[in-house]
A and B are shown apart, each in its own frame.
Chain A
Amino acid sequence: MTNYIIRRLLLLPVILFGVTLLIFAMISFLSAEQRAALYVADVPKKPGALEKIIEQYGLNDPVHEQYGRWIKSMADGNLGFSKTGKQPVAQVIRDRIPATAELALWSIVPILVVGIQLGILSALRHNQWSDHVLRVASIVGTSAPTFMVGLLLLMFFAAYAGWLPTGDRLTHEMQRVVDAPGWRSPTGLLTVDGLVNGRVDVVWDALKHLVLPVATLSFVSWAVMLRITRSSMLEVLRQEYVQTARAKGLAERAVIQKHARPNAMLPVVTVGGFQLISLLNGAVVTETVFNWPGIGRSFVQAASNLDIITVLGLVLFSSTLLIVGNLAVDVLYAWLDPRVRLN
């Protein structure tokens, strides 16, 4: 296991190097003025200002030197200046990631719990009416556009029924509490920070604001988990060792829980891991519909405004997250399945 992790860790910088090369190649296609945004907020409208910046930051130097300088700049936490965010890209990510993380972490729970449980149920009731209903429901879930689901939930439960807030992370009163001096924010996750600060009202308010975006994300994602779990479970249930367990006279409950389910979970771990990583990269539509100040909205704003430096900064962030997340999933997979690490 240790050897496996070391091997994967050694691959990590190689993959990251490839990603940075690709992103830098894209940056190289930009004009000098656009590339200047990697180092300065604005090119002053003074004569010779651009030339001065080009010289100061070596924007016309050989490509490998520029790459080295860019990597060093990134290592110092500088991803360039975001025109749409009106602040450094790194700051945009720092400001936005807590909202996205909170939404992702709360969403993954129902996605996994509901998706896996219903997937197992569907497999166990193979070709019975409940299986058919769940299969149809999963098709509806996977094909329902997020914006439609989000908007319908928004209109029914927030705008007309008034049971839940329409969007944002907190009400304005609670936001003032959080923005006030003295508020401790160790995680940026309001449901956690609220507890740290002893403000249950903030936690409650944050939870209410999470319900609709979490429901939207869950609705369109649980179906994927259901389908993966169902097919994996069906495959395992056909395996000989399951038949053997049944032949030995083990109770069906024990067969399912001890022999079938753990093995059926292997592909589920992979898909679940990627679902989480995908959510952490920002839920573009859900964040837009619910005015959620996360990474996804920044991505949309930057892309629709041709703010390429911000887009590339966010792509780098997403790629890094994906690579590290992928590693974590692989390690978890290897830990669960000895065949992987032995190979």
Chain B
Amino acid sequence: MRVRHLTGLALALTLLPGLAACGGGSGPESEEPAGEATSADIVPTQEEAAPASNVPSDTFVQVTIGEPETLDPAWTYETSGAAVESNLYDTPLYFNREKADDYVPQLAESWTLSDDQKTITLTMRKGVTFHAGGTLEPSDVAYSLHRAMLQDRVDGPMTLFLNPLLGTSTIEGYAFAKADISTDVPEGAEAPTLEQVPADVIQQVCEDVKATVVADNDAGTVTITLKQPTPWFPQLLSQPWSAVLDKEWMIEQKDWDDDCATWPQWHNPEPQESVLFDKANGTGPYKLGEWKKGQEITLEANADYWRTEPIWEGGPSGPAKLTHIVIQKVDEWGTRFAKLTAGEADTIVVPRANIDQMASLVHTEYDGGDEGAPATEVNPGGSVNLFKGYPTVAADAAMFHFAINPESEFIGSGQLDGNGIPVDFFTDIDVRKGFAHCFNWETFIQDALKGEGVQTRGPIIQGLQGYSDTSPIYEYDPVKCEASLAKAWGGKLPETGFTMTLAYNQGNDTRKTAAEILADELAAINEKYKIEVQELEWATFLEARRAQKFPISIAGWLADYYDASNWVEPFMSSAGAYARAQSFPADMQAKFDEKIAAGLAETDPAKRDAIYAELQQMAIDEAIDIFLAQSTGRFYVSRQTTGWYNNPLAPGLWYYAMSKP
């Protein structure tokens, strides 16, 4: 029991001004800033045991921000939900520990890829049972993928599967094309709907989907047929979107009945409409305990977990060592910090801006993504270990919305009268360029990321095709900012000014800082340029963005697979998780889509590199977003915890690999 009143007073006082909000994450749609703290793997030194923790050794307490929108793995395309699902469900394959491009069999005991790289055959494991008692069969795998692709909710993850399997971005688009229904409707006219698609086409669409993933229960195999070679497809089979559901159980719960005539009833549901909204029945190492909305999610170890051999050399096997998992939602940084200091939490989300406060708690610093990294003991009395400096595949951006929903509560009067902005405010490129020149990256990287980041040069991050250290970027330049904005909207802006609200997800101080920097710089140019900054709870933020209510949204992207296509798709494609809601003008969107399709079809590495470099340039030329920064990883965890490692594509902690002595 350490009583450190003076330090405590100093720390408490420094916490006061920042009580209102903080943040952290990444993932498909990432609630935490890129590279923010996540988890770790530490062994207490022999000579000194770790300080006493108030968390029992069979329990792991993670204190985080935000909570899932749903626990349906086919619906989820954000990290809070995907992180939970990755512990509840198994997938056919899994990442070989920290390697993002190497796999180990999971529910598939083996897998093969044909010579033409278009057919993947999974041989499924026998004797695996679901949490509710059902037995895993190959048809469960096929049903799960069929259901997911036909469900295909707007801005969801299924475009990742539909593209390589059917050559389409959305199942609706595929149905309309088959039914010869034009989606190019005049402005003001209603978009086509599935109800207009004839029944025989509805049936055919489903049969086409079923033909891409075929189960043979007798042979124990699942055969997946790709339209074109897709090197990253095994990565998709290792992520929660490939979670295997129990077909019979799902039908009992009144989900899709596997009938090709009925799938539109389950297509594009709201989160609460799915039977898996707050229920789960997977084969994973954990069962869902309870989801107390707005408070916490608990997971309980699956005592009957099927795995008897280590997943990789030295890896876990048998039931999970940590039998109770508590994932608490605590938005206040001060409360999260107190919990970690008091030993009531094993890990917390630490906004980069608060890392100085964490220094006194750190026992050992690991300069890398697991316990094998070079380590330095910094404070013998510290209660947590820090892993830092490991690479991430995540980045944040502030995205301009070109056609804002007129019902939006974030655009004030909806007019260019100084009290709001019109819904098409950002269609003027001078506005976008002006905003980009008004963002001070140096301040952002120093203040919000404590210097541990670099400015991103477009949607494509370092290390991928299309990325170049010398490609043009926007630089902070108040003079150019002022000049651009003076030109915008026929030169009216300096006189009228504007008012809008910029939202970020609650608890995420990094994004809050980005929003405040932009607001302050614009106000410094002209006091009539007003941006109000507002926090929104994660699920509310995502819903408002899908509804196209934001003028600008700040969010992060964690790669689904390691390829440039997974960066241009969300940020630039008409079906992209971010770009769709931004509503780029038709001609701009057509140019993006054409180039994205060319990149997907191209197999020559040099040509691919050129295509993605061109896309990177187009994103900058059109100033579709303010591309913020890519940072390295930083993760704090209690000294008692061992087994953490960083896999850059993982949406969150995989508790199965972790334990406490």
A and B are partners in one complex rather than unrelated chains: yes
A44-B15 in contact given A160-B4, A162-B1 (Cβ < 8 Å) = no
Closest chain B CB from A216 CB (angstroms): 13
State which residues 45-62 of A face B: CB under 8 Å.
Answer: 45-47
B273 touches A293 (CB 8 A): no
A31 at the interface (CB under 8 A from B): yes
Closest chain B CB from A151 CB (angstroms): 5
Interchain CB contact (< 8 A) of B5 among A158, A160, A167, A298:
A160
What's the Cα separation between A60 and B269 when bound, in Å?
Answer: 25
Scoring B12, B269, B330 by chain A CB atoms within 10 A of each residue's CB, the highest score goes to B12
B412 at the interface (CB under 8 A from A): no
B495 at the interface (CB under 8 A from A): no
What's the Cα separation between A296 and B49 when bound, in Å?
Answer: 41
A172-B61 in contact given A155-B12, A288-B332 (Cβ < 8 Å) = yes
B254 at the interface (CB under 8 A from A): no
A171 touches B54 (CB 8 A): yes
What's the Cα separation between A165 and B543 when bound, in Å?
Answer: 35
B540 touches A166 (CB 8 A): no
Interchain CB contact (< 8 A) of B270 among A45, A95, A147, A172:
A45
B334 at the interface (CB under 8 A from A): yes
| Chain A residues whose C-beta falls within 8 Å of the C-beta of B342 in the assembled complex | 158-159, 162, 165-166
B324 touches A166 (CB 8 A): no
What's the Cα separation between A165 and B326 when bound, in Å?
Answer: 16
B317 at the interface (CB under 8 A from A): no
A305-B272 in contact given A86-B293, A151-B16 (Cβ < 8 Å) = no
Contacts between the two chains (Cβ within 8 Å), count: 143
| Chain A residues whose C-beta falls within 8 Å of the C-beta of B293 in the assembled complex | 85-87
A307 to chain B: closest residue by CB: B540
A155 touches B11 (CB 8 A): yes
A76 at the interface (CB under 8 A from B): no
Which of the segments B415-423, B531-539, B556-564 contacts the partner chain? B531-539
A42 touches B270 (CB 8 A): yes
Closest chain B CB from A73 CB (angstroms): 19
Q: Please, what's the 1-or-0 string for A90-129, where 1 marks a CB less than 8 Å from any CB in chain B? A: 0000010000000000000000000000000000000000
Interchain CB contact (< 8 A) of B338 among A43, A158, A306:
A158
What's the Cα separation between A210 and B524 when bound, in Å?
Answer: 47
| Chain A residues whose C-beta falls within 8 Å of the C-beta of B61 in the assembled complex | 172
State which residues 403-419 of B face A: CB under 8 Å.
Answer: 407, 409
| Chain B residues whose C-beta falls within 8 Å of the C-beta of A166 in the assembled complex | 335, 338-339, 342, 344
Interchain CB contact (< 8 A) of A160 among B7, B59, B294, B339:
B7
B56 to chain A: closest residue by CB: A173
B541 to chain A: closest residue by CB: A305
State which residues 142-168 of A face B: CB under 8 Å.
Answer: 147-148, 151-152, 154-156, 158-162, 165-168
What's the Cα separation between A155 and B8 when bound, in Å?
Answer: 6
Closest chain A CB from B353 CB (angstroms): 18
A45 touches B338 (CB 8 A): no
Interchain CB contact (< 8 A) of A305 among B8, B16, B344, B536:
B536
B295 to chain A: closest residue by CB: A293
A289 at the interface (CB under 8 A from B): yes
What's the Cα separation between A163 and B380 when bound, in Å?
Answer: 22
A290 at the interface (CB under 8 A from B): yes
B91 at the interface (CB under 8 A from A): no
Q: Please, what's the 1-or-0 string for A308-319, where 1 marks a CB less than 8 Å from any CB in chain B? A: 000000000000
| Chain B residues whose C-beta falls within 8 Å of the C-beta of A172 in the assembled complex | 55-56, 59, 61, 324, 326
B7 touches A290 (CB 8 A): no
Scoring A87, A155, A158, A176 by chain B CB atoms within 10 A of each residue's CB, the highest score goes to A155
Closest chain A CB from B509 CB (angstroms): 15
B290 at the interface (CB under 8 A from A): yes
Closest chain B CB from A160 CB (angstroms): 4
Scoring B16, B269, B270 by chain A CB atoms within 10 A of each residue's CB, the highest score goes to B270
| Chain A residues whose C-beta falls within 8 Å of the C-beta of B9 in the assembled complex | 152, 155-156
B292 at the interface (CB under 8 A from A): yes
B16 touches A291 (CB 8 A): no
B343 at the interface (CB under 8 A from A): yes
What's the Cα separation between A301 and B506 when bound, in Å?
Answer: 10
| Chain B residues whose C-beta falls within 8 Å of the C-beta of A86 in the assembled complex | 272, 278, 293-294, 539
B326 touches A151 (CB 8 A): no
Closest chain B CB from A190 CB (angstroms): 15
What's the Cα separation between A87 and B67 when bound, in Å?
Answer: 14
B154 at the interface (CB under 8 A from A): yes
What's the Cα separation between A199 and B338 when bound, in Å?
Answer: 28
What's the Cα separation between A161 and B9 when bound, in Å?
Answer: 12
A179 at the interface (CB under 8 A from B): yes
A176 to chain B: closest residue by CB: B324
**Main secondary structure on chain B at its contact with chain A?**
mixed
How big is the A interface, by class?
35 or more
| Chain B residues whose C-beta falls within 8 Å of the C-beta of A168 in the assembled complex | 328
What's the Cα separation between A291 and B298 when bound, in Å?
Answer: 16
| Chain A residues whose C-beta falls within 8 Å of the C-beta of B193 in the assembled complex | 46-47
A156 touches B535 (CB 8 A): no
A26 at the interface (CB under 8 A from B): no
Closest chain B CB from A149 CB (angstroms): 11
B19 touches A84 (CB 8 A): no
State which residues 276-318 of B face A: CB under 8 Å.
Answer: 278, 289-290, 292-295, 298
A304 at the interface (CB under 8 A from B): yes
A297 at the interface (CB under 8 A from B): yes
Interchain CB contact (< 8 A) of B190 among A47, A179, A301:
A47
A259 at the interface (CB under 8 A from B): no
A84-B335 in contact given A47-B190, A291-B330 (Cβ < 8 Å) = no
| Chain A residues whose C-beta falls within 8 Å of the C-beta of B2 in the assembled complex | 160, 162
A42 touches B506 (CB 8 A): no
A41 at the interface (CB under 8 A from B): yes
| Chain B residues whose C-beta falls within 8 Å of the C-beta of A173 in the assembled complex | 56, 59
What's the Cα separation between A288 and B331 when bound, in Å?
Answer: 8
Interchain CB contact (< 8 A) of B343 among A162, A293, A304, A307:
A162
A83 at the interface (CB under 8 A from B): yes
What's the Cα separation between A47 and B193 when bound, in Å?
Answer: 7
A159-B332 in contact given A148-B16, A151-B19, A305-B536 (Cβ < 8 Å) = no
Closest chain A CB from B400 CB (angstroms): 22
B119 at the interface (CB under 8 A from A): no
| Chain B residues whose C-beta falls within 8 Å of the C-beta of A148 in the assembled complex | 16
B270 touches A151 (CB 8 A): no
B526 at the interface (CB under 8 A from A): no
Closest chain A CB from B71 CB (angstroms): 11
B268 at the interface (CB under 8 A from A): yes
| Chain A residues whose C-beta falls within 8 Å of the C-beta of B7 in the assembled complex | 160
| Chain A residues whose C-beta falls within 8 Å of the C-beta of B272 in the assembled complex | 41-42, 86
B293 to chain A: closest residue by CB: A86
A164 to chain B: closest residue by CB: B342
What's the Cα separation between A158 and B345 when bound, in Å?
Answer: 13
| Chain B residues whose C-beta falls within 8 Å of the C-beta of A152 in the assembled complex | 9, 12
A163 to chain B: closest residue by CB: B1
A159 touches B337 (CB 8 A): yes
What's the Cα separation between A41 and B54 when bound, in Å?
Answer: 39
Q: Please, what's the 1-or-0 string for A173-186, where 1 marks a CB less than 8 Å from any CB in chain B? A: 10010010000000
B344 touches A165 (CB 8 A): yes
Q: Please, what's the 1-or-0 string for B181-202, where 1 marks a CB less than 8 Å from any CB in chain A? A: 0000000001001010000000
User: A42-B270, A84-B294 given. 12 additional CB < 8 A pairs?
Assistant: A42-B271, A83-B539, A84-B539, A154-B338, A155-B338, A158-B338, A160-B5, A162-B342, A172-B56, A172-B324, A289-B332, A290-B335
Question: Hey, which bits of chain A sit against chain B, CB under 8 A?
Answer: 31, 33, 41-47, 83-87, 95, 147-148, 151-152, 154-156, 158-162, 165-168, 171-173, 176, 179, 288-291, 293, 297-298, 301, 304-307
Q: List 23 A-B contacts (CB under 8 A).
A: A31-B407, A41-B270, A42-B273, A46-B193, A46-B268, A83-B543, A84-B540, A86-B294, A87-B293, A154-B335, A155-B341, A156-B9, A158-B338, A159-B339, A159-B342, A161-B3, A162-B1, A162-B343, A166-B339, A166-B342, A179-B298, A293-B294, A298-B294
The 8 closest A-B pairs by CB, nearest first: A42-B270, A155-B12, A159-B341, A159-B338, A160-B8, A305-B540, A47-B193, A86-B293
